[in-house]
Structure 1
């Protein structure tokens, strides 16, 4: 809605005053567009956006090609200019003829930057700084390093708001900056980033950004509060979300495992066993190794045994490590990228639960379960 609002503003105060490079059209009457608010639209900028007002910015911003313009509108603002009437009008108005430096107007730049730098912190509309607009658009269109560093240093809120509002996941540098800038250990901040401020308001529903969650895991963002966000959703109002709240809850909890929080999944299964079937019906949401964890790694509380436990021997064999380093890492999943639970030292005895594949499931003397590579195991008793 914010993007649409910005586009309405841009189109409405466009002046038909031709730039030097535009094709001559003197025989046609000149029209002046006027700004009209839609019902319920908040209007606090009429003081600046007067009908026909236009200014030329003297900066080295190069107007992007049509292809680049379309690409960035979709990547950054999630707007398809082929389908969005406001964006189509913008393109027709500002890209007739051969675009040059002289026909860069505040309206074009404001469409892409105004919400983030013009009115922040209660800034008066008359205090708009065109140079800041120029820098912002250079950052968006061309990943300009100097412009980006300026915003990181002087107006980081503009980058944070941009990512929060639109969920842009294409720019790795900006994403990492925002992940480090926001206090993701705060569940409310995490929830806001995952669902986006664009979904706020009584007429809108929360929509989970699944691609954002993938990027947060890929870039190692703080996700310790992900289970808290899942519980917030579970205890919230179902009508507030586009998806079914139980499915959202299950999805986020499953991603706790992908984020390396296998202990939370174990606790979830202990306290709510039906979630195993919820995960199974959804093919474990395509999360690698979650099905294996559920079927082979997880044990209900009443069936967990340590080596010293009294009861049926649950192991197919016993072993010790075979490692020249004198220790082997016990991990919570397959592969060397899986989280290290503890180190098994030379001489320690452990039980072997499964011996298929390269990564066996073993249980140490204190009952800790995990995986070690088969090449590091010497079987001492079948």
Structure 2
């Protein structure tokens, strides 16, 4: 009997501790789950997507970056007294501002940001930027300064780079299209040859990969284009790209709409000067009607300018026929001089070259040069020509 009591006591004891252990395990599991939930709420959501990427990991060995670059970069980071990585939301925002990519749209954690040699590499987990030169040169101070430049846009650091590493400022603008800092922008522009096609290609266009390797197109960096146009006062060969957008539209993203944007940007508001629309309308007269059918892609300034410059289709007495007519020269010398308002020779039109001529100014040109002189628009240039030297082409 005594033995039975002892056995019963032991059973109850074991049962008690077993229940207590299970309760503790359940409580720990709940706490663990709560902790996981709490932590996961602080981890930014990412999603794998088939969206176009402006970087190509296949051009870089991600394994080499993980095994060689990242450890050294983390070592450098510990030596930075004046740089601390931003909190993730601010880090993400600054990456989007500088490089034009939302890193939360991708599951990737390593972003080589260029197809070119030695690109900037964004490390999502460490919240820093590196490139191979920083590692190869063993320059932690360069690493620290560069990250201060990218994430804090420290003015002292910017001026330091402007003096000692100005090519880095140029790369931010030319490679990645960054235009948000006036000092960086002016330094970059001072290093760029605006008459060099390779320089302009890299500066004005992003190469966009769509559906893997099937199609490669160029997308105009519109905000940067505006700043380039303002900086150069339009003195760069944008006409080459405009013609190419018409002749090779598949090479560009939304070629006609981009062309309308360029023409709208290139309109000289200080009338009666002439701008880029005339260049296109003179070379490709059909584009006036094409733009009209597309309602000038919503560019109101371009719409009004085009109507004033080239007239409106007749609707009533208040809307005259088009101002311009297509013409050839009529000159036994084989060429005709085109003059400015002072009578100075501006350029020549050769026999057989077609041009556009306006017999009167309407509201755009103003008073005539003098009696019997007509206004000429030819390959982006304009001036005045005597009507006796003009043969109107009747179409």
| Interval of TM-score (by shorter of Structure 1 and Structure 2) | 0.5 to 0.7
Alignment partner, residue 68 of structure 2? 50
Q: Is this contact kept in 2: 1:284–1:290, CA < 8 A?
A: yes
Alignment partner, residue 216 of structure 1? 228
Using the TM superposition, give the Cα deviation of residue 158 of structure 1 relative to its aligned residue in structure 2, in angstroms.
1.6
Question: Unaligned 5+ residue runs, structure 1?
Answer: 1-37, 90-105, 305-340, 345-350, 371-382
Is 1:179 aligned with 2:189? yes
Alignment partner, residue 134 of structure 1? 144
Output the TM-score relative to the length of structure 1.
Answer: 0.55
Alignment partner, residue 80 of structure 1? 102
Is 1:114 aligned with 2:130? yes
> 2 CA distance for matches of 1:109 and 1:364?
68
Q: In the alignment, which of 293, 310, 316 is matched to residue 305 of structure 2?
A: 293
> 2 CA distance for matches of 1:166 and 1:129?
24
Q: 1:164 to 1:154 in 2, by over 3 A?
A: same
Is 1:71 aligned with 2:71? no
Q: Deviations over 1:165-197 (max 9, x none)?
A: 322232233223222321112233223211135
> 1 CA distance for matches of 2:66 and 2:110?
23
Matches within 5 A, 1:275-286: 275-286=287-298
> 1 CA distance for matches of 2:229 and 2:219?
19
Q: Is this contact kept in 1: 2:86–2:127, CA < 8 A?
A: no
Is 1:242 aligned with 2:266? no
Q: 1:267 to 1:87 in 2, by over 3 A?
A: same
Q: Is this contact kept in 2: 1:59–1:131, CA < 8 A?
A: no
Using the TM superposition, give the Cα deviation of residue 275 of structure 1 relative to its aligned residue in structure 2, in angstroms.
0.7
> 2 CA distance for matches of 1:173 and 1:264?
29
Q: 1:224 to 1:285 in 2, by over 3 A?
A: farther
Alignment partner, residue 171 of structure 2? 161
Q: 1:158 to 1:175 in 2, by over 3 A?
A: same
> 2 CA distance for matches of 1:223 and 1:259?
16
Alignment partner, residue 269 of structure 1? 281
Alignment partner, residue 195 of structure 1? 205
Matches within 5 A, 1:217-232: 217-220=229-232, 222-232=234-244
> 2 CA distance for matches of 1:130 and 1:49?
18
> 1 CA distance for matches of 2:279 and 2:95?
43
Alignment partner, residue 40 of structure 2? none
Alignment partner, residue 35 of structure 1? none
Output the TM-score relative to the length of structure 2.
Answer: 0.54
> 1 CA distance for matches of 2:260 and 2:240?
12
Q: 1:363 to 1:82 in 2, by over 3 A?
A: same
Q: Is this contact kept in 2: 1:194–1:209, CA < 8 A?
A: yes
Using the TM superposition, give the Cα deviation of residue 136 of structure 1 relative to its aligned residue in structure 2, in angstroms.
1.4
Alignment partner, residue 61 of structure 1? 83
Question: Unaligned 5+ residue runs, structure 2?
Answer: 1-55, 112-121, 311-322, 329-339, 344-358, 378-395
SS at match of 1:135: helix
SS at match of 1:262: coil
Pairs aligned (count): 264
Root mean square deviation of aligned Cα: 4.3
Q: 1:235 to 1:297 in 2, by over 3 A?
A: closer
Alignment partner, residue 367 of structure 2? 362
> 2 CA distance for matches of 1:138 and 1:259?
40
Q: Is this contact kept in 1: 2:208–2:217, CA < 8 A?
A: no
Q: 1:183 to 1:169 in 2, by over 3 A?
A: same
More strand by share: 2
